[in-house]
Structure 1
Amino acid sequence: MRQEAAIGAGEGRGVARPLAWLAGEFLAERSRWPLWLPVLLGLGIGGYFLLPMEPPVWLGAALLPPFLGLAILAGQGSALRLLGIALVAVALGFAAAQLRTATIGTPLLEKRIGPAAVQGRVIEIEARAGDWRLTLDRPVLARLSPEQTPRRIRFTARAAPDDLRLGDIVRVRAVLRPPPGPAAPGAFDFQRHAFFEGIGGVGYAVGRVERVAGEASVRADFWIAMDELRRLVTGRIRAAVPGEAGAVAAALVTGDRAAISEETLEAMRGSGLSHLLSISGLHMTLVAGTVFFCVRFLLALTPLALSRPIKKWAALAAILAAFFYLLLSGATVPTQRSFVMTGLVFAAVLIDRVAISFRLIAWAAAIVMLIMPEALLGPSFQMSFAAVLMLIAFYEANRDRLASQRRAGPLRWIWLYALGLAITSVLATIGTTPYSAYHFNQVAVYGTAANMVAVPLTGIWVMPLGVLALLLMPLGLEGWALTPMGWGIEAIIETGRVVAAWPGAVLAVPAMPDLALAALSLGGLWLLLWRRPWRHAAVPAIILAMASPWLVERPALLVDDEGKLAAIRAGPARDAPLLFTSGVAARFTGDVWLRRETQERRRLLPRSGMGVDEGIACDRLGCIVRRDGLTLALARDAAALPEDCRIADLMVSLVPVRRRCPSARAVIDRFDLWRDGAHAVYIDLGGGPQGIRLDSVRARRGDRPWTPVRPASRRR
């Protein structure tokens, strides 16, 4: 090929040797090139979400024809053809994200409304401790036109009819507001998440939810029947297995986590076992795998094994079982992704392909990203595929050794299965740890140990018995399976409690930069998808990305978007704690700040006088902070403005500033918080004119369909 000739020509030239070596490595990995197409799709999707403003709706589609033409017209085997294919994949990802935004989005409420009359069709019911959380489709809101009305709303209610079902039309008085934006620049964007779920308003009910009527249609009747089946199965599981074990059993079988206590949830989080409580790829694989092996084993005992493709029949049964499990568990978006991945594995068996391979997972990732591009940004997608990639890399590296065990006896098979589950738990924990650190700001230090006990127990004992319980339930004999299933779950819960109680069980991780997560993900892909030695070049990038939370600059001051809460760093040191203006205001926002700062509790600013080595002085009107030669003023009352505006280099006011501040290089007031969301202030150690850097939620997100429409900030 021409590429090899070019490399040969380059050899012997000192400068060209490194480039020739890289080209040689790249060409030697030719069989792995297709694995990067989903990565390129992801780059296109990521590029779309990084834009500061919404691009023209035709842009993604317009980029496809020229790139496709380049790929087709370029010479066979040329670098231009390869470039054209790569650009097509990037443009396709960009176009898919644009299409999804245009078709799935919803109008957002512009401001708080209510209490107001609300009526709509119930499409989701979540029973929680002490209340209900309902999602209504096609709501009708008083004083809002259809064009201003969100496609869906979600609210909590203290009281609801006991016989409330999916498809019912309900009426209620509720207080609604736009979905909240990020609590800090770079924090989780619930507003974007809600937008892609079609939810444009959230809030709470005032009074009881009233059932007006049911909806009669084939589609509604189907989902009503599935919801009733789900409730029936949940009730019978909890009746057969009382206590926490029954609550967890219901979560594993039907996805209903409402009865699990906060104590158990905390223990599972602290031990790294919380993933077992949410139906994911692990559960879907275990259910489908149990059905596959059982059906295949039973068919192998019949004469059909000699003349019929019983392996394919078992794979088809596994797909049907996974689909039923999907419906029974509520068909949530993460469960849908898990079904796609599991279904592709067994579909590969039907067409005589290798069931577990990088190519198969590449197809699964591409399908998920093209259908739901926003999934790329969420922890479920990232952690699922990170775990699967680790497992396949191990399987690929040890394929010959594993193949040699195919003729092992039954007892050895059981031992190998348990060992495989233990190895699976270790690899999955390693693969998901960085994403747990990024999204949840904590890492379960002993998660590997806990998973080595809990995952094999789940795979060998708990989930197979759960499948058996569903099969016995029509006969009223589910107790035979649910009782021993409860024993296994109690062992898992106890494992979680014991491990969570170990010293230093949870490592709190400061906020990780988005760029670090991108570098870590691309570095991990580089390490796992390539085979040759050049893949190890990604290791330094991965290490640096993992260390970044402890290396990056931290804000000196944070202010929430409603002007209810502010926090000032107690000193110039990176690990100095945040001091809060209130111990109770903006509870959720404050909790997010604490978690991102790895701080256990709120510490308050001094009420009056000097504090923190005389670096902060406060009174009832506000605080003055002197840091690195700069003066920061935090005003809680308008009476503080005349004096503060004359001395401050940075003026932060929780009330509107309607006057000039001659000494201030920057001003943040209540209007800015309303327009631009939560703010963070950074101080460079050198001080000086450029010593203050401002960051805001709007600066990070830009003006997108899922951000509130606000007028531009005025200059001062």
Structure 2
Amino acid sequence: MMATLSISAYLARALADRLMAERERWILWLPVGIGLGVAWYFALYTEPPAWAGAAATTLFVTASLLARHRAIAPLVCLAALSVALGFTAAQFRTARVAAPILAREIGPVPVTGRVLGVDRLEKGVRVLLTELSIPRLAADATPGMVRIRLRDAAQAASPGERIRVKAVLAPPGAPVAPGAHDFARTAFFAGIGGNGYAVGQVERVEPVPVGEWADAMAAVERFRLRMSDRINSLIGGSEGRVIDALMTGEQTGIPEHVMNDFRVSGLAHLLSISGLHVSLVAGLIFVPVRALLALIEPVALNWAIKKIAAVAAMAGTVCYMLLVGSPVPTERSVLMTGLALGAILMDRNPFSMRLIAFAATVLLLKEPESLLGASFQMSFGAVTALIAAYEVISPAWRRLRLNRGPFGRAMLQIAGIVVTSVVASLATTPFSMFHFQQIQYYGVLSNMIAVPVTSFWVMPLCLISYLAMPFGLDQPFLVLVGWGATAILETARLTAALPGASQLIEAMPALALPLVALGGCWLTLWRRRWRLLGVPIILGALLTAAFHDPPDILVDEEGKLMAVRDADGGLSLSSRIAGRFDASIWLRRDGRLEGGVWPREGKGAGGLLDCDRSGCLYRAKGRTVALARVRQALTEDCGVADVVISADPAPRACSAKLVVDLWRLRREGAHQIWLSPGAMRVATVAAERGDRPWTKPSHDKGLARQPD
């Protein structure tokens, strides 16, 4: 007993000594604590009381003040306070964005609304409508915004117009499987309460308002659309779509095979307007402005030209954000870049870990839900890893640069690109594995080619094209941009075609993500050797994938699509037509691109399935599962099977140990089932999501029955 106490006391003292030695790095853990509070809020099964976050924050503020003269107690209290702040911020954000969500599918029904945005798709067009009026839907049940896909791209209205179109609307989609992406949660925080498709022609109800400041954003959207039309008319093809993505933020029109090449080659980040593009814009404005001002002797001698250039770069990045549609990743990048430029104004180092911590803190308090997205995790992971790496290697790097000739410095520049690509790739790979179930093996190679082309050719010419476009002088510059886009496209295509360019993996357990984040923070935020303890934590998180236990049976939320584990360990699907989107996600989360299909009659799934026109029997792991195709088969299935699955209601007297029928699917959503001779395990979307604001549709008050 005494030995145990001595060891505990020694470990506690050693920990306290190391913490005190790293005192200047404590502040870097503030966003980590806030992130833990945000993650705690979103992990809850039910919505906490409205006062919970504020009460916890008040409690720990008081405790911090009372313990301020003690040794380690203030640190503990402040850590708890940061968690409470994150929890409170998430609560407040949820309450602030809450808006009605459609309770169920309705329509066809006339939908009247003002066009807020237009997305050009590879085939067709999609509009975002606000200020909605939907007959027979009460005002308190009408969503703030809906997104509707139009039948014909020629019908696309201009942002600011008020239109009417007959459409079928449905609530935002729930996850297609437990653990999959929650589309409804994303839509909730974007203020979108329904999605749908048009079944009639678009009718212009009211033209675009003229001369109203309130319509400024609609004017920007119209300018973006005109710019997109010009780019695609001058360049066209995949090159035009890529340039469109870089100059207007419009990715939806890029062909799927091109997007797949970018994903497999590790270049997809070039199409998402984020940190790389915004920092390039800032640099491409900052450097020339400062250089030009330096040429004017009175200005250079009497004015703070570095700070003037920083202000110009700030303005330029904000304009760029507006031109690309102000998506959330771009807003986040503009904020981070603005903080870096602000550091220049205050004569501080713009590339410091404290600046990144401050940016993360601001973003988490402003948009706590961004913590759950791959964009936030990958961008901050990459930037934090790069700054931590260069904190370590910078002294040696400066020594290497001494007394180097032009050739030696050029080689060091190339080495810098390699190091940057390797560090960024290593930092983002765990998040890519978790969110996209994919590893890109040649990402460093492709980025070494495509990133310099983007940085030194494409983006400078894009900025010149912006300036030349109002005067009609942009065509030669856009043509040159097209050459750069061709180089990027070819790099993506050739890299994706290399043997073993990428590998799909099975979905990782939920525990892997927080372990990766904790290990990464421990490795990058501390300075002393104990930081290396973060490496085994990250490796342990990645190794959890080896213990993943894939389900034996999957059922979608309507029972129209099912899948079973075949004799070879793959997935065999009930249909190639029904639920194709759900099937693609199931297969990807299983680490596959293709799966088998059940036979109409006979044996399937490597002999584990026995099908006829009324349904299939699946026998595996000592269990018999009835997968009914018609309602008439349920009576017999209930008498012979351990598990009965059907898109129809099952008889009340069904004696099967587990029944998954229409009513259960409506209550609990998509199912995953693990078979065993003993107790079977079931996971459902409803059980995982819990009872949260984004899972609750608005009530049906005032909603008359709509035609089916």
Tell me the TM-score normalized by structure 1.
0.92
3-state SS of 2:572 partner: strand
Between the aligned partners of 1:21 and 1:80, the Cα distance in structure 2 is: 16
Structure 2 counterpart of 1:311: 306
Instruction: Work out whether 1:391 is the aligned partner of 2:386.
Output: yes
3-state SS of 1:706 partner: helix
The answer on whether the counterparts of 2:176 and 2:585 sit within 8 Å (CA) in structure 1 is yes
3-state SS of 1:137 partner: strand
Structure 1, 140-149 or 470-479: larger mean CA deviation:
470-479
How many Å apart are 1:162 and its aligned residue? 6.2
3-state SS of 1:365 partner: helix
The answer on whether the counterparts of 1:583 and 1:602 sit within 8 Å (CA) in structure 2 is no
3-state SS of 1:147 partner: helix
Q: 1:144 to 1:94 in 2, by over 3 A?
A: same
- Which one-letter code corresponds to 2:686 in the other structure? R
Structure 1 counterpart of 2:616: 623
Between the aligned partners of 2:211 and 2:683, the Cα distance in structure 1 is: 50
How many Å apart are 1:466 and its aligned residue? 1.5
Between the aligned partners of 1:50 and 1:706, the Cα distance in structure 2 is: 13
Instruction: Work out whether 1:521 is the aligned partner of 2:529.
Output: no
How many Å apart are 1:439 and its aligned residue? 1.7
How many Å apart are 1:265 and its aligned residue? 2.0
How many Å apart are 1:597 and its aligned residue? 1.0
Structure 1 counterpart of 2:702: none
The answer on whether the counterparts of 2:123 and 2:253 sit within 8 Å (CA) in structure 1 is no
Q: 1:599 to 1:207 in 2, by over 3 A?
A: same
3-state SS of 1:486 partner: helix
The answer on whether the counterparts of 1:161 and 1:210 sit within 8 Å (CA) in structure 2 is no
Between the aligned partners of 2:254 and 2:180, the Cα distance in structure 1 is: 27
Structure 1 counterpart of 2:671: 679
1:355 paired residue among 350, 361, 370: 350
What are the within-5 Å matches in structure 2 for residues 182-331 of structure 1?
182-213=175-206, 214-215=208-209, 218-303=212-297, 304-331=299-326
3-state SS of 2:139 partner: coil
How many Å apart are 1:709 and its aligned residue? 5.5
Deviations 1:272-325 (A, max 9, x none): 111111211110000111111111122222213233221111111111110110
Structure 1, 81-90 or 363-372: larger mean CA deviation:
81-90
What are the within-5 Å matches in structure 2 for residues 114-513 of structure 1?
114-159=107-152, 164-213=157-206, 214-215=208-209, 218-303=212-297, 304-402=299-397, 405=401, 419-513=415-509
Structure 1, 108-117 or 457-466: larger mean CA deviation:
457-466
What are the within-5 Å matches in structure 2 for residues 623-642 of structure 1?
623-642=616-635
Q: 1:581 to 1:258 in 2, by over 3 A?
A: closer
Between the aligned partners of 1:336 and 1:408, the Cα distance in structure 2 is: 40
The answer on whether the counterparts of 1:169 and 1:215 sit within 8 Å (CA) in structure 2 is no
The answer on whether the counterparts of 1:44 and 1:90 sit within 8 Å (CA) in structure 2 is yes
Q: 1:489 to 1:576 in 2, by over 3 A?
A: same
3-state SS of 2:559 partner: coil
Structure 1 counterpart of 2:683: 695
Tell me the TM-score normalized by structure 2.
0.93
3-state SS of 1:110 partner: coil
How many Å apart are 1:583 and its aligned residue? 1.8
Where in structure 2 are there 5+ consecutive unaligned residues? 700-708
Structure 2 counterpart of 1:6: none
Q: 1:139 to 1:501 in 2, by over 3 A?
A: same
Between the aligned partners of 2:117 and 2:606, the Cα distance in structure 1 is: 53
Q: 1:674 to 1:506 in 2, by over 3 A?
A: same
The answer on whether the counterparts of 1:161 and 1:209 sit within 8 Å (CA) in structure 2 is no
Structure 2 counterpart of 1:113: 106
Structure 1, 419-428 or 178-187: larger mean CA deviation:
419-428
The answer on whether the counterparts of 1:152 and 1:198 sit within 8 Å (CA) in structure 2 is yes
Between the aligned partners of 1:472 and 1:395, the Cα distance in structure 2 is: 38
Identity within the alignment, %: 46
How many Å apart are 1:343 and its aligned residue? 0.8
Where in structure 1 are there 5+ consecutive unaligned residues? 1-9, 712-716
How many Å apart are 1:484 and its aligned residue? 2.8
Q: 1:710 to 1:146 in 2, by over 3 A?
A: closer
Q: 1:164 to 1:616 in 2, by over 3 A?
A: closer
Structure 1, 55-64 or 148-157: larger mean CA deviation:
55-64
How many Å apart are 1:103 and its aligned residue? 1.2
- Which one-letter code corresponds to 1:699 in the other structure? A
The answer on whether the counterparts of 2:168 and 2:196 sit within 8 Å (CA) in structure 1 is yes
Between the aligned partners of 2:236 and 2:272, the Cα distance in structure 1 is: 20
Between the aligned partners of 1:697 and 1:310, the Cα distance in structure 2 is: 57
1:96 paired residue among 65, 89, 95: 89
- Which one-letter code corresponds to 1:317 in the other structure? A
3-state SS of 1:203 partner: strand
3-state SS of 1:125 partner: strand
Instruction: Work out whether 1:44 is the aligned partner of 2:8.
Output: no
Structure 1, 368-377 or 481-490: larger mean CA deviation:
481-490
- Which one-letter code corresponds to 1:233 in the other structure? M
3-state SS of 2:582 partner: helix
How many Å apart are 1:419 and its aligned residue? 4.8
The answer on whether the counterparts of 1:677 and 1:696 sit within 8 Å (CA) in structure 2 is yes
Q: 1:410 to 1:205 in 2, by over 3 A?
A: farther
**Paired residue total:** 694
Between the aligned partners of 2:631 and 2:324, the Cα distance in structure 1 is: 54
How many Å apart are 1:165 and its aligned residue? 1.9
